[in-house]
Amino acid sequence: MFFDSRRSSILATNGMVATSQPLAATTGLRVLMEGGNAVDAAIAAAAALNVVEPMSTGVGGDMFALVWDNKEKSVRALNGSGRAPAAANIEELTKKGLSAMPDTGVYSVATPGTVHGWETLLDSCGTMPLSKLLCPAIDYAENGFPVSDIISFQWQQCLGKLSAFPSGTEMLPNGGTPSQGDFVKLPTLAATLRAIAEGGSEAFYNGPIAEKTAAFVQEHGGWLSVEDMATHTSDWDEPISTDYRGVTCWECPPNGQGIAALGALNIAEGFDIRGMGAQSPDAYHHLIESMRLGFADAYQYVADPRKANVPINELTSKEFATTRRALMNSKTAMATVPYGKVLNGSDTVYISVVDGQGNACSFINSVFSNFGSGMVVPGTGIVLHNRASLFSLDPNHANDLAPHKRPYNTIIPGMATIGDELHLSYGMMGAFMQPQGHLQLISNMVDHDMDPQQAINALRFMVGNNNVLLEEGLDPSVARDLQSRGHNVGQITGYNRVSIGGAQIIQRDPDTGVLRGGSEPRKDGCAVGY
């Protein structure tokens, strides 16, 4: 039972790029063909996506990356996410009668982390200058590009959101949302990208762009200041991992939610998922319950580890997974899912790149919701993300809103190794779908021997707050069986299936160097190689 796609996995040896829009994928491929490495190509593709898929990503958002160095046989993790402004405080919002962070508007805005992340990643792991890598994106913004099918669908859903502020018209070319095939130019965004190309992150975080950004937010009552912009930094972190049946799965550590994927994998490993059969009611039930437990723990503990105590080692341990697995019943869904007690004292773009030398970059970039906060900085084309909306207003929660603190972040690049060799560079865009997408992709490939494209095509489930959605096309008997076990089952259909995840996978054979790539058929993109 697969998504109706005739795609097969793409094969190449010299390099490969997989992402959600063909113009961006070929931008990254061009960089590889010109001698750039995986990091160079990922940044070029990310910048292009800012233009051709602007509702999902951009310089006003944030990013994370995992980098595989094939000479060193090592994985590195970069956190390029933004922090709450210095003036942020819970009391101001509770006095306004708010019990939760707003999803849009000024209070949802955190400091953008993308540009500093690009530069930090490039300085450490790249080979080409940022000025060169941004050229294709600038060209598309200045001279235009045709809008893709799924992207036009998502863009059209945001007319009201973009109309909330006058500057939203910068993302409403020709006075409205574009249809498939419309030719679009984004001149103010082009000017911003050109300024970054010429002046690096300094041009974004200091000077006129930073001043315009802070002034716009403060004009509407928000907190972001020029000081918040000027003092922003990215961080290299130790990646976190777990072993799933001989495959080591890597994630960035909190404040990202990759730990939810690792927790769910640890729980699922205790069941014979292969013996149950792919997409069988038994397999779905056990994976769904594993994911519900993984989410419960993430929602309780994931926060900025530089500002809160996050029990990472305990949450990723096999011992902890054993205690969580004991709550499950093979025949009945859990009525409630409590978080585990530890003993210690989306929309998004995803890019996978592997170069001819075997280096890989698993790269994710986002403004969170489509067009983020709904705020476009006037005269710049910068869409400000709404990542601060994920803070808690409970002062006793680990993820409580506080100055200079990073919020719980949904975007998570993935990577897998076997022994000391790269196995997979993978990811799945789609907010809270991401860790459960990682779980399903790894299970499809490890438990059921699927190749990258088959693993992506396979029909998915998506766990919600009190329900689980299944894709149309799945045998109705599966839904009936899950309902009989107590699951609240719904269905996701048509174009809305884009919300069930946008996956990209590149697999590498260490013996031959052959790359095998798959790309999400529910999105507009592709995998390309040479």
Rounded distance between C-alpha atoms, residue 481 and residue 281, angstroms: 6
pLDDT of residue 343: 47
Query: Domain residues for 252?
Result: 238-346+417-529
Q: Return the bridge partners of 461, or none.
A: 470
From 397, 443, 434, 392, select the one nearest 416 (Cα to Cα): 443
* Sign of the C-alpha dihedral computed for residues 319, 322, 323 and 325 taken in this order: positive
Domain membership of residue 48 (yes or no) is: no
Rounded distance between C-alpha atoms, residue 496 and residue 519, angstroms: 18
Domain membership of residue 392 (yes or no) is: no
Copy the structure tokens of residue 203. 């041009």
- The string over 116-137, giving b where at least 16 C-beta atoms fall within 10 Å of a residue's C-beta and e elsewhere, is bbbbbbbeebbebebeebbbbb
Catalytic residue, candidates 213, 348, 380, 417: 348
What distances in angstroms separate CA 86 from CA 83, 284, 344, 382, 404, one per listed residue?
9, 44, 30, 21, 6
Task: Let me know: does 65 contact 422? Beta carbons within 8 Å.
Answer: no
Domain membership of residue 402 (yes or no) is: no
Q: Return the bridge partners of 235, or none.
A: 79
Domain membership of residue 32 (yes or no) is: no
Domain membership of residue 41 (yes or no) is: no
Determine whether 348 is an active site residue.
yes
DSSP 14-77: SEEEEESSHHHHHHHHHHHHTT--HHHHHHHHHHHHHHHSTTT--TTSEEEEEEEETTTTEEEE
CA 434 to chain CA mean position, Å = 7
**CATH at 484:** 3.60.20.40
Q: What residue has token string 């069930």?
A: 500
pLDDT tens by residue, the chain, 530 residues: 666 677 899 999 999 999 999 999 999 999 999 999 999 999 999 999 999 999 999 999 999 999 999 999 999 999 999 999 999 999 999 999 999 999 999 999 999 999 999 999 999 999 999 999 999 999 999 999 999 999 999 999 999 999 999 999 999 998 899 999 999 999 999 999 999 999 999 999 999 999 999 999 999 999 999 999 999 999 999 999 999 999 999 999 999 999 999 999 999 999 999 999 999 999 999 999 999 999 999 999 999 999 999 999 999 999 999 999 999 999 999 999 988 865 433 568 999 999 999 999 999 999 999 999 999 999 999 999 999 999 999 999 999 999 999 999 999 999 999 999 999 999 999 999 999 999 999 999 999 999 999 999 999 999 998 899 999 999 999 999 999 999 999 999 998 988 899 999 999 999 999 999 999 999 999 999 99
What is the DSSP-derived secondary structure letter of residue 374? S
Task: Let me know: does 38 contact 51? Beta carbons within 8 Å.
Answer: no
pLDDT of residue 175: 87
Q: How many domains does the chain have?
A: 1
Domain membership of residue 219 (yes or no) is: no
- Length of the chain in residues, anyone? 530
Domain membership of residue 323 (yes or no) is: yes
pLDDT of residue 345: 33
What distances in angstroms separate CA 255 from CA 303, 405, 409, 526, one per listed residue?
5, 10, 6, 29
Copy the structure tokens of residue 321. 């997974």
Domain membership of residue 523 (yes or no) is: yes
The gap between the terminal CA atoms of the chain, to the nearest Å, is 30
What is the DSSP-derived secondary structure letter of residue 195? H
Rounded distance between C-alpha atoms, residue 100 and residue 87, angstroms: 18
pLDDT of residue 2: 66
What distances in angstroms separate CA 216 from CA 125, 132, 226, 479, one per listed residue?
34, 30, 11, 48
Rounded distance between C-alpha atoms, residue 440 and residue 457, angstroms: 11
